[in-house]
Amino acid sequence: MSDLNEPILKVEELRTYFDLAEGTVKGVDDVSFSLSENEVIGIVGETGSGKSVTAKSLVGLIDKPGRLAGGRVFFKTPEFPERQKGGYLDLAQLQGDEYTKIRGKHISIIFQDPMTSLDPLYTVADQMTETIMFHQKVDEKEALDIAVKMLDKVGFSNPRERVHQYPFELSGGQRQRVVIAIAISCNPEILIADEPTTALDVTVQAQILELMKDLQAEFKSGLIFITHDLAVIAEMSDRVMVMYGGKTMEYTDVFTIFEKPMHPYTHALLSCIPRMDQKDQVLEPIPGQPPMMLNAPDLCPFLPRCPRKLERCLKELPSLIHADGHYIRCFNPITNGVSHG
Partner 1 sequence: MGEEKDMNDSGSKVLLEVRDLQKYFPIKSGFLIQKTVAQLKAVDGVSFTIDKGHTFGIVGESGCGKTTIGRTIIRLLNPTGGNIFLEGEDIAILKERSLKQYRQKMQIVFQDPTSSLNPRMTVGQTLSEPLLFHGMVRSKKEVEERMSQLLSSVGLKPYHVDRYPHQFSGGQRQRIAIARAICVDPSLIVLDEPTSALDVSVQAQIIKLLKELQGKLNAGYIFISHNLSVVRYISDRVGIMYLGKMVEKGDTNEIFENPMHPYSKALLAATPIPDPKTRRKRKELLSGQVPSPINRPTGCFFRTRCKYAMPACEKEYPQMVRIAQNHSVSCHLYSLGEPEKIVEK
Binding test (CB under 8 A) with partner 1, winner from 235, 296, 326, 334:
235
Binding test (CB under 8 A) with partner 1, winner from 6, 19, 169, 201:
201
Instruction: Determine contact, residues 17/213, Cβ cutoff 8 Å.
Output: no
Binding test (CB under 8 A) with partner 1, winner from 86, 120, 274, 337:
274
Minimum distance from CB of 198 to partner 1 (Å)?
11
The C-alpha torsion from 175 through 178 and 179 to 183, rounded to 10°, is: 170
- Asked if 306 touches partner 1 (CB under 8 A), the answer is no
Nearer to partner 1, 19 or 284 (CB): 284
Applying CB under 8 A, the span of 31-39, 60-68, 83-91, 201-209 interacting with partner 1 comes to 201-209
- Give CA–CA dist 301/245, Å, rounded: 5
Applying CB under 8 A, the span of 28-36, 159-167, 273-281, 327-335 interacting with partner 1 comes to 273-281
Minimum distance from CB of 124 to partner 1 (Å)?
17
- Give CA–CA dist 102/189, Å, rounded: 10
Ramachandran sector of residue 339 (left: φ over 0; alpha: ψ -120 to 50; beta: rest)? beta
- Give CA–CA dist 210/90, Å, rounded: 33
The C-alpha torsion from 165 through 192 and 241 to 317, rounded to 10°, is: -120
Nearer to partner 1, 191 or 200 (CB): 200
Instruction: Determine contact, residues 247/30, Cβ cutoff 8 Å.
Output: yes
Minimum distance from CB of 255 to partner 1 (Å)?
6
**Contacts of 110 by beta carbon, 8 Å cutoff, 6+ apart:** 117, 176, 179, 180, 183, 191, 192, 193, 194, 196
What is the gyration radius of the CA atoms in the chain, in angstroms?
21
Minimum distance from CB of 340 to partner 1 (Å)?
8
Window 207 to 226, contacts with partner 1 (CB under 8 A): 207, 209-210
Applying CB under 8 A, the span of 5-13, 101-109, 287-295, 329-337 interacting with partner 1 comes to 287-295
Nearer to partner 1, 71 or 167 (CB): 167
Minimum distance from CB of 248 to partner 1 (Å)?
18
Instruction: For residue 65, say if its preceding peptide bond is cis, omega within 30 degrees of 0.
Output: yes
Minimum distance from CB of 140 to partner 1 (Å)?
31
Instruction: Determine contact, residues 242/301, Cβ cutoff 8 Å.
Output: no
- Give CA–CA dist 7/222, Å, rounded: 9
- What is the binding site for partner 1 (CB under 8 A)? 46-47, 171, 173-174, 201-207, 209-210, 228-235, 237, 254-255, 258, 268-270, 272-277, 279, 281, 283-287, 289-290, 340-341
